[in-house]
Amino acid sequence: MIFEKTLMTLAAAAAIAAAAAVGVVSAAFAVYAVLVPLVSPAGAAAIVAAVAALIVAVAGMIAARKVEGSRNAHHNAPPQAGFDMTAKVVEIVRDRPIVSIGIGLAAGIFALKNPTLTAAVAKAFLDPKPPQR
């Protein structure tokens, strides 16, 4: 009974997701068809991509604000003593988001150009620490 209900819920969610995807693709084609007579096909495709990126960015900002608001309302942790690297990085990202995006892109390009170094850094962070004696 519970398994069947779970499967039906998953099937409904998949159907809703598929319908949303079809709607988004159809809207993108409609915007493209409207823009092609005004600009070149490549320009119309670029405008459609920019509109999609803008929608994703706005949705992400709204979701982040909701999460941040609920986190602040439910959980006010006392400040930690000492230097906290993660908190400092999060503070920098909040204060300067454009610079953070640029740094992230530069780091991604550097990682693609130097896969050996990237693997070594990832291994250093992800390997378990040896047991203390």
Grade residue 86 by pLDDT with cuts at 50, 70 and 90.
Answer: confident
Model pLDDT for residues 10-33, shown as the tens digit of each residue: 888 888 888 888 888 888 888 889
This prediction has a pTM of 0.42
Grade residue 90 by pLDDT with cuts at 50, 70 and 90.
Answer: confident
Residues 6+ apart with CB under 8 A from 117: 111
Residues 6+ apart with CB under 8 A from 39: 47
**Beta carbons within 10 angstroms of residue 48's beta carbon:** 19
Cα 71 from Cα 21, distance rounded (Å): 30
Predicted confidence at residue 73, as pLDDT, reads 55
Cα 90 from Cα 102, distance rounded (Å): 15
Predicted confidence at residue 77, as pLDDT, reads 56
Model pLDDT for residues 33-85, shown as the tens digit of each residue: 988 898 888 888 888 888 888 888 888 888 888 877 666 655 555 555 556 66
Question: pLDDT higher for 126 or 52?
Answer: 52
3-state secondary structure labels for all residues of 5-64: HHHHHHHHHHHHHHHHHHHHHHHHHHHHHHHCCCCCHHHHHHHHHHHHHHHHHHHHHHHH
For the chain, domain boundaries: 1-76, 82-128
